[in-house]
Amino acid sequence: MKRIALFAAILLLVACQTKEKGYSITAETQGFEDGTEVYINSISQSGRPLVIDTATIQKGQFKIDLPAPEANDFNYLTFQNLRSNVLYIAENHPFHMTIYKDSLRSSIIKGGPENELLFKYINSIKTFGEERINLNTQYQIASKLKEADKALRIATKQEELKEKEIQFRQDFADNNPNSLIGVMALTDLLNLKSLSAKDAKAKFTNLPDTLKTSRLGKNLDRLINNAVAVSMQKRIDIGTMVDDFSAPNPQGKTLSLKESMGKITIIDFWASWCKPCRLENPNVVRVYNKYHDKGLNIIGVSLDKKQESWTKAIADDNLDWNHVSNLKFWQDPIARAYGVRSIPATFIIDEQGQVIAKNLRGPALEQKISELLGEKAL
């Protein structure tokens, strides 16, 4: 009898463990034709979608059993010949869904506690967005009708709504430190610049390791580190004296800013993969050819990753001036030291290394160089 009882206990334990190794999705659909394929997608650590299984809609329904999620992350459903998707968090809990073809984002998802938090957060943010649009419309109408007092009252409400939304996100992150949605809220706050890098770092440190190593956790850590680096950077504005720098040129020899300076020097941050940079290059070439003999020099600092792409772009665009690159993409130490967060970015400096102007393009660039080196300036 003891052996039978022990065997039964083992079977029960195995059955329980087997049950916990996956989850199921049972869905009612509206508007879909029978035979429509359903694709269940996960997201890799690199952010790429991966189809992990498929199902077929029959009689307006589908059901699928799925393996236990390998990571705490979002999954989503896509449908044959449709671009939109249905988002959910993969967790070991049965899912019951009602999916509307004409409005996938309005579909009803009932799952475990993580999904309950997810849709509570999403729906709240959606409500804030609707209120913001309504107030913006009211403000525009009041402004057009020149109702100054009313416009001022609406502007006050807009600011109050903004603060209320920020507070909601902060409370959500603080009240759900062990949830993926808490990480999502922290990421949103950091992207909205409603949370300092220092405070975000402190909150991230207290997260459980399972969240820190998740895809969203790693992304948040990367954002925090970048924000911390930017906050420590020297802000370079007009009037600032820039520091010298050096890096390899296309031939592999070290070249410094000091060696590349003229009467006026443009420090041009760009990359071969940057379309706006490539579109602006013909204008920079024209300005350089026109004013180089009068003292204009340029040093290009590339945020490329591949030597071949960098040197090919220099040749293709006829960039006949000095170039350097560490081939480190956004981790380039020169770009980080100069606080460059988007490209193209330019700094125009004089002979002493003082910034005269920054981020000029098109006619504005030529006009400034003409003021400094043109016939009227000589």
Least confidently predicted of 32-41, 232-241, 282-291, 345-354: 232-241
Question: Does residue 64 have a pLDDT over 90?
Answer: yes
> pLDDT at position 255, please?
93
Mean pLDDT across the chain? 89
> pLDDT at position 233, please?
57
DSSP 76: E
Say how far apart CA 54 and CA 221 lie, in whole Å. 33
> pLDDT at position 227, please?
81
> pLDDT at position 376, please?
58
Helix (H, G, I), strand (E, B), or coil: what is residue 46? coil
> pLDDT at position 8, please?
44
Residues of the chain with CATH 2.60.40.180: 22-111
Question: Does residue 240 have a pLDDT over 90?
Answer: no
Classify 246-373 by CATH class.
alpha beta
Q: Give the pair of three-digit tokens for residue 282.
A: 């013909």
Contact (CB, 8 A) for 41 and 50: yes
Confidence tier at 204 by pLDDT (50, 70, 90): very high
Q: Single out the residue of 57, 97, 58 nearest to residue 76, CA to CA.
A: 97
Of residues 45 and 191, more confidence is placed in 191
The mean per-residue pLDDT over the stretch 129-147 comes to 93
Question: Does residue 10 have a pLDDT over 50?
Answer: no
Question: Does residue 128 have a pLDDT over 80?
Answer: yes
Contact (CB, 8 A) for 59 and 46: no
Give the burial class of 275: count Cβ atoms within 10 A of its Cβ; 0-12 exposed, 13-18 middle, 19 or more buried: exposed
The pair phi, psi for residue 96, each rounded to 5°, is -125, 120
* CATH superfamily to which 22-111 belongs: Transthyretin/hydroxyisourate hydrolase domain (2.60.40.180)
Contact (CB, 8 A) for 226 and 54: no
> pLDDT at position 49, please?
84
Contacts of 93 (CB under 8 A, 6+ apart): 23, 111, 112, 113, 115
> pLDDT at position 230, please?
67
Q: Give the pair of three-digit tokens for residue 89.
A: 């968090």
> pLDDT at position 4, please?
46
The pair phi, psi for residue 281, each rounded to 5°, is -55, -45
Per-residue pLDDT tens over the stretch 269-320: 999 999 999 999 999 999 999 999 999 999 999 999 999 999 999 999 999 9
DSSP 293: G
> pLDDT at position 19, please?
44
Confidence tier at 18 by pLDDT (50, 70, 90): very low
Question: Does residue 203 have a pLDDT over 90?
Answer: yes
Residues of the chain with CATH 3.40.30.10: 246-373
Q: Give the pair of three-digit tokens for residue 189.
A: 């706050």
> pLDDT at position 375, please?
61
Task: Report the Cα 62 to chain-centroid distance in Å.
Answer: 34
